[in-house]
Chain A
Amino acid sequence: MVYDKESEVFSIQTINLTKRFAKKKHRGVFGFLRKNQSKNKHEENTDVTVALDKVNIEIRPGELFGLLGPNGSGKTTMIKCLSTILIPDEGTVIVNGFDVQKETSMVRASLGMVVGGERTLYWKLTARDNLMYFASLYKMQRRYAKKRVEELLETLQLSDRADERLEDYSTGMRQKVAIARALLHDPPILLLDEPTLGLDPNFSRQIRSQIRELSEKHGKTVLLTTHYMDEADQLCDRVAFINNGNIVAVDTPNRLKAMVKEREIVEVAVYRPPADIESQIRSLLPDAEVIKLIPGDEDEGNPSRIKIIGGTAEEHMGTIIDALRQKNIRIGSLNVGVPTLEDVFIKLTGAKLTEGGMQ
């Protein structure tokens, strides 16, 4: 993509964005009877989680920007701070030139959001009713809203069933209605929080194609959060890794993948590995940067994978095969892998991106 370097104007800009959540510790049903150990009662009874820690992000107009991180890394919190649902504790957030705390209404008018998917619509209303209702909340003129709703229903192939209640729709169709809602007022910026989560591959493909079209053909700025590395790799102009509320790296997918040289990755598919296989291999390969066991589902035909990043792949291969054979561990396959964004993420953070949280 081409951008104007001379006048750096950003669609979305965060400066030292920080957000903390304090939660009361659960002390059991009769916890109120227990004595506090320290003098600071509030501190003892409260857990503070730093969801975003001085995050700085700049997204250019027209960019398709990915925010990649595991569950609990701060992606959704970031989206909520940008969309005015959450008020940051520290820092500044500028969206389409408007400060989220001072010009809230204009920020909301500049954004279209898909967060939470199908459950954020009225299931007892039809798709048309849902869209017309939200059009009024976006302060659209009625005749324009009608035209726009019909346009979107046509584009998203929902016209035939527009007058059926959402409770009779499939998950994918409801997600389409959620996307239509985000596009109603033709906002310059779209925030998409895991838009393909829970969808089947066919629908996911359709959604991704629509996202690409919105960015390339319509010039919209899209901030996409996901923990599907393939999605980010395919779609995004730039990707930011977020982990524990911190931005770990920001760059194009190709430049990020270049951080992990191709020959540095060895991936071995194994069956029924022992629990301590990671530490065993680590002792044999001291120069490896990361050794990770990614459990599979052998009943479904997906063996577990051991990924070794760093050091020399050719040297590692022989050592690994010998070690596994000695322990009578069945080897499925061995690859010198093409780096993926997940490999980069693992290398940078030691954590993995896939569902089920950090490892």
Chain B
Amino acid sequence: MEKNNKDYRLREVKCPAGFSWTNLRAELRAVWESNVKAWKIDLAYPVSFIRQLISPVVFMLPYLLYGLVLIGGRYSENLAQLVGTGDVVAFIFTGYIMMGFIGTAVWAMGFSMRREQWFGTLEAIYVTPASRLGQVLGMALHSTVHQGAGTIIQFIFIYATFGLALNVGGILPALGIFALMMFALYGFGIVISALSLILKEGWIVSDSFYSIMTILSPVAYPLIVLPTLAQQASIIFPTAPALIGMRSFLIENYVPEVVGNVFLHLSVLGAVWILFGVFVFHLTDRYVRKRGMLKKF
């Protein structure tokens, strides 16, 4: 076929970029598709999928059974003295639902880039115009819904086995607190995803942060039991104030260990973590591309 001179111009590329509604829509679609992709891959391993749905129950049970054995019943005098309520079942259930969402930040989001690297698809993703953050947020969405399903299963199990007394009127404000907490956790998760990509043993970062956050969050004990330094450190993570806030709405007679406006606290934390997360992610993005660290290990 004869070629003519017209073929040898540079061809214009019409791709949305910069600050525009079109670009925002395209980025959001990429986030959604990442989420859909994660679900499809999850469902390709049905045994694993089912196991992950029941694992919140499996890991909560020891806290419950251990707590019941310690005090020989459901009511703890000491707990009542500390936080106004001695119902260990309600206390542990409301605390434990947090664990799954810490996992969202630390594992689902935190390990998302590393997981793509392990699949061999990280470079293929990097050469597309969509933001890499979209991958991380897609995983966040997937994991949040996944955890949500696990939480519902947890609730059904606990309600059926032990009975649960929660303040129904407090569900809506508790959900508000939960949403603010997730916003901040997403920012934290973005930081972890950046760090796990630059460190050779990325899973250690995720595991370490998961353990530290679990200790600093009043999941199975009131915050006041921790040493003072640990209590002060816990306010930089969203889980501690969120848990305390949610319990104060969901559990009757609950006396919050920390005084202050939880909504304001979480909003500030959310803004800080998101901004910090995006900043660290951008820095890491450049760092890994400079050092050639994207290829499959």
Contacts and interface: CB of A to CB of B under 8 A. Distances in A.
Nearest to B126: A85
Given A11-B10, A84-B126, A108-B129, A139 B37 contact: no
B128 A115 contact: no
A84 B129 CA distance: 10
Nearest to A120: B124
Interface string B26-45: 11011011101100110011
Contact of B37 (A96, A113, A133): A133
A11 B124 CA distance: 21
Interface stretch (B11-19, B94-102, B203-211, B263-271): B11-19
A338 B123 CA distance: 40
A97 B9 CA distance: 11
B66 interface: no
Contacts of B129: 105-106, 108-109, 137-139
Interface size grouping (class) on chain B: 35 or more
A61 B10 contact: yes
B290 interface: yes
Given A139-B16, A219-B3, A85 B127 contact: yes
Contact of B15 (A1, A105, A216): A105
Contacts of A119: 120, 296
A116 B10 contact: no
Given A62-B8, A119-B120, A133-B33, A138 B130 contact: yes
A181 interface: yes
Given A2-B4, A216-B1, A111 B120 contact: no
Nearest to A6: B5
Interface residues of A, number: 52
A126 to B, nearest CB: 9
Given A106-B15, A137-B128, A9 B5 contact: no
B125 interface: yes
B13 A116 contact: no
B232 interface: no
B294 interface: yes
B33 A136 contact: yes
Contact of B30 (A21, A136, A181): A136
**3 closest A-B pairs by CB:** A109-B15, A137-B128, A136-B33
Interface of B: 1, 3-5, 7-11, 13, 15-17, 23, 26-27, 29-30, 32-34, 36-37, 40-41, 44-45, 119-121, 123-130, 134, 286, 289-292, 294-296
